[in-house]
Amino acid sequence: MRMLVVDAFTDRPFAGNPAGVCLLQEAADPGWMQRVAAEMKHSETAFVRPVAGDRDADFELRWFTPLVEVALCGHATLGAAHALYSTGTVAAGRPIRFRTLQSGVLTVTQDEAGVLSMDFPACPAEPADVPEGLAEALGARVTAAGRNVQNDLLVELAGEADVRGLDPDMRAVAAIDARGVIVTAAADQGGDHDFVSRFLAPRVLPGDGEDPVTGSAHCALAPYWAERLGRDTMTGFQASPRGGLVRVAVRGDRVVLSGTAVTVLDGDLRA
């Protein structure tokens, strides 16, 4: 079966967030999918298969880290849609509707310039106390904090330089009661983005515990910054070493995430 590696939320190879994309023709055993994801070693690998007789969806989509199946993954969804368009599985410009196990039906569209837009449920963070030890783990002063239903902490720092220069103690971050920590700040004036972020999740991510570009985190970041900036359309820059731009639009209880992607590997999975 066909397997691709796609760099999402970028227009150049070896930037953005890489995802494996496995194009299935029929249902696969979850244990096998988990082993494939462990072999790929990306933060997430997406498994896509066509579904027949479903009025609401065209494909089933599931996401696996090397360790577990996850409920939602933005960059791997973008990568899956890019793979379907780029391989000719779906005609250019035709919307793709993905049926997921826990996040409902997700729709991805493609515009004439090739920009992909994903309609995701918003996941706003409610104000919360700063957990004990978090500022020390981050090595930075936290100005505001919130927590969402995914048990992600969203914490604001004083400025863009604080986010970019963050050098967290990942062992201490892993001791915080949270799936992940979204660190954010308003962007400096004059740039091509409105806010910056980083996503630290040493409990669930392999390697150094930092995700390069996180679509699901922007489901919390978009409503947070929409309220503070008084705008419903913005651009976020995730300031990881690879980096990536995510355009966001708040639409009630939904968030539209937009970006581009590039294929860096296209081959056959033989196991």
pLDDT tens digit sequence for 134-169: 999 999 999 999 999 989 999 999 999 999 999 999
**Residue 205 pLDDT:** 77
- Kind and range of the H or E run holding 163: helix 160-164
Over residues 9-32, the mean pLDDT reads: 96
pLDDT in tens, 37-55: 999 999 899 999 999 889 9
pLDDT in tens, 178-231: 999 999 999 998 889 999 999 999 987 777 899 999 999 999 999 999 999 999
Told to judge if 69 belongs to the known catalytic residues of this protein, a careful annotator would answer no
pLDDT in tens, 61-95: 999 988 889 888 999 999 999 999 999 999 999 99
Q: What CATH fold (topology level) applies to the domain 126-252?
A: Diaminopimelate Epimerase; Chain A, domain 1 (3.10.310)
**Residue 87 pLDDT:** 97
pTM listed for this prediction? 0.90
Q: Supply the CATH classification number for the domain 2-121+257-268.
A: 3.10.310.10
Residues in contact with 12: Cβ distance below 8 Å, sequence separation at least 6, in sequence order: 262
Has residue 29 got a pLDDT over 80? yes
| 3-state SS class at 23 | strand
Which has the closest alpha carbon to 45: 21, 69, 24?
21
**Residue 190 pLDDT:** 82
Both tokens assigned to 14: 């070896």
**Residue 207 pLDDT:** 78
Both tokens assigned to 164: 């970019």
Both tokens assigned to 18: 């890489």
Both tokens assigned to 114: 């090739």
Over residues 25-46, the mean pLDDT reads: 96
**Residue 71 pLDDT:** 87
Which residues pair with residue 46 across a beta bridge? 21, 63
Has residue 239 got a pLDDT over 90? yes
| 3-state SS class at 51 | coil
Query: Any idea of the CA torsion for 40, 41, 42, 43, to the nearest 10 degrees?
Result: 140
- Kind and range of the H or E run holding 170: helix 170-174
**Residue 67 pLDDT:** 85
pLDDT in tens, 96-110: 999 999 889 999 999
Residues in the chain: 271
Residue of 26, 39, 44, 227 with catalytic role: 44
**Residue 17 pLDDT:** 96
Q: How far apart are CA 255 and CA 238, in angstroms?
A: 17
**Residue 235 pLDDT:** 98
**Residue 204 pLDDT:** 79
Domain boundaries, the chain: 2-121+257-268, 126-252
Which amino acid belongs to residue 222? A
